[in-house]
Amino acid sequence: MHYVCTHCGKRTPTDTLTPHCECGGLFELDFEPPKWDESRIHKDTWNLFRYRDFLAVDDAVWPSVTMGEGMTPIIEYDESVYFKMDYAMPTLSFKDRGAATLVSHMKAIGVQKCVQDSSGNAGNSVAAYCARAGIECEIFVPEGTSPKKIDMIRAHGATATVVPGNRDHCADVCRAKVRDEGVYYANHVYNPYFYEGMKTYVYETLEQLGRIPRHIVVPVGNGTLFIGVVKALEHLQASGVITEFPTIIALQSQLCDPLYQAVLQKAPEPARITPEPTLAEGIAIGVPMRGRELLDMTYRHDIRFVTAPEDQILKVRADIARRGIYCEHTTAANYAAYLEYVRLYGPTPDALVTMCGAGIKSDH
Ligand SMILES: Cc1ncc(COP(=O)(O)O)c(C=O)c1O
Ligand SMILES: [Zn+2]
């Protein structure tokens, strides 16, 4: 298996320990999944590796890494909205999808030590899966990260290093360590194996509903779910399973919206913004590293962007909780943004919204 550089096109074997191409460009996988065919789902595998025929994964390793991630329920929230309950995962967030495939790859190529930066959830997932795989890890989180996320990271035996400043600075500090010490970068944005797991969000939805909903609401910080969803839908479209691409409604925080601003201006690069503190810590990314890629996909598929009104996040979270569903602040922003979209553009039926983080994670 090879990576291809998104900048210069150079191929690099995927057992490399470097985080990006020599030229600095980010990698993508040179992997074309076979045509979608439901009979190729391994229905006796009760985790996301049931879709392994369509994922770049190493068959020998994933069984010792999986913790039963994926296979999350879809529930009808009201007549227009389905929630996909993606906090029903081993570490209580959707990032377990990507961590399961990334850490399986790391184990397959013999990584023994890694670092990662995160707003909390991705680091939490990587810490847990590394613990399972016997890989040492250090997670960098920005100051102000929900303490419960930090506690969970430490409980898995990882070092949690809290970096003063915002989320983007935290990433810079971690990347400096990767550069200076050559340690493996188990990062959800850089490493294409993470996206393999995120694709299963769509495959599962298709298997569960027997179709793809008309609207798919996706939060975008660095865009790992966004990229996974687009790649999987492109795969289904190329396989003739769907003829029409659903409308993807991508959301950002009102206080940190570089992609939303870029789309307003039809710009090819994320806008330069100054992130302001938001309750939606998980999407507080001022400089999304794959910004150009995300915008290419946006224009290719006419993806809509909307922002989550900051003053609605706590209210929406409380309203959802009163109906039995306790999600974290960033996740409440998903539904707040959906409601904002309805307010702006009218009824938006048959919408799938991700409940991607559990409420207890952001209680403090
Ligand atoms: C709860 C939650 N929602 C959304 C996101 C955004 O994910 P991404 O940065 O991959 O777009 C995160 C990222 O950590 C998160 O924790
Ligand atoms: Zn390159």
Which of the ligands is closest to the CA of residue 8?
2
Phi, psi (rounded to 5 degrees) for 11: -95, 140
Residues with CB under 6 A from ligand 1: 93, 119, 121-122, 219-226, 282-283, 285, 328, 330-331, 356-357
Ligand 2 centroid from CA 192, angstroms: 15
Alpha helix segments (H runs only) across 113-257: 121-133, 147-155, 167-181, 192-198, 200-209, 224-238
For atom 15 of ligand 1, the residue with the nearest CA is 282
Please indicate whether residue 59 or residue 124 has the higher confidence score (pLDDT). Answer: 124
Which of the ligands is closest to the CA of residue 168?
1
Q: What is the pLDDT confidence band of residue 3, given thresholds at 50, 70 and 90?
A: very high
pLDDT at 203 > cutoff 80: yes
pLDDT per residue as tens digits for the range 265-314: 999 999 999 999 999 999 999 999 999 999 999 999 999 999 999 999 99
Q: What is the pLDDT of residue 296?
A: 98
Which percentage of the chain shows pLDDT scores above 90? 96
pLDDT per residue as tens digits for the range 303-345: 999 999 999 999 999 999 999 999 999 999 999 999 999 999 9
Q: Ligand 1, residues 84, 87, 95: which to mutate, most atoms within 8 A of Cβ?
A: 95
Phi, psi (rounded to 5 degrees) for 110: 85, 25
Ligand 1 centroid from CA 161, angstroms: 19
pLDDT per residue as tens digits for the range 81-118: 999 999 999 999 999 999 999 999 999 999 999 999 99
pTM for this entry: 0.97
Ligand 2 centroid from CA 14, angstroms: 14
Give the position of tokens 């959707």.
94
Ligand 1 centroid from CA 119, angstroms: 8
Ligand 2 centroid from CA 5, angstroms: 5
Phi, psi (rounded to 5 degrees) for 228: -60, -45
For atom 1 of ligand 1, the residue with the nearest CA is 357
Ligand 1 centroid from CA 335, angstroms: 14
Q: Is 96 left (phi over 0), alpha (psi -120 to 50) or beta?
A: alpha
Q: Ligand 1, residues 257, 283, 295, 355: which to mutate, most atoms within 8 A of Cβ?
A: 283
Query: Of ligand 1's atoms, which has the minimum distance to the CA of residue 224?
Result: 10
Which of the ligands is closest to the CA of residue 24?
2
Q: What is the pLDDT confidence band of residue 119, given thresholds at 50, 70 and 90?
A: confident
pLDDT at 5 > cutoff 90: yes
pLDDT at 39 > cutoff 90: yes
Mean of the pLDDT values across residues 153-171? 95
How far is residue 42 from each of residues 37, 95, 112, 148, 209, measured CA to CA in Å? Answer: 11, 22, 30, 35, 18
How far is residue 252 from each of residues 103, 107, 145, 281, 344, measured CA to CA in Å? Answer: 28, 33, 18, 11, 15
Q: What is the pLDDT of residue 362?
A: 86
Mean of the pLDDT values across residues 234-256? 98
pLDDT at 364 > cutoff 80: no
Q: What is the pLDDT of residue 225?
A: 98
Give the position of tokens 């994933």.
62
Please indicate whether residue 361 or residue 220 has the higher confidence score (pLDDT). Answer: 220
pLDDT at 59 > cutoff 90: no
- Rounded CA gap, 226 and 357, in Å? 16
User: Which domains are delineated in the chain?
Assistant: 1-30 (no CATH), 74-91+193-362 (3.40.50.1100), 95-191 (3.40.50.1100)
Ligand 2 centroid from CA 7, angstroms: 5
Tokens of 261: 């601003």
DSSP bridge pairs for 4: 11, 28
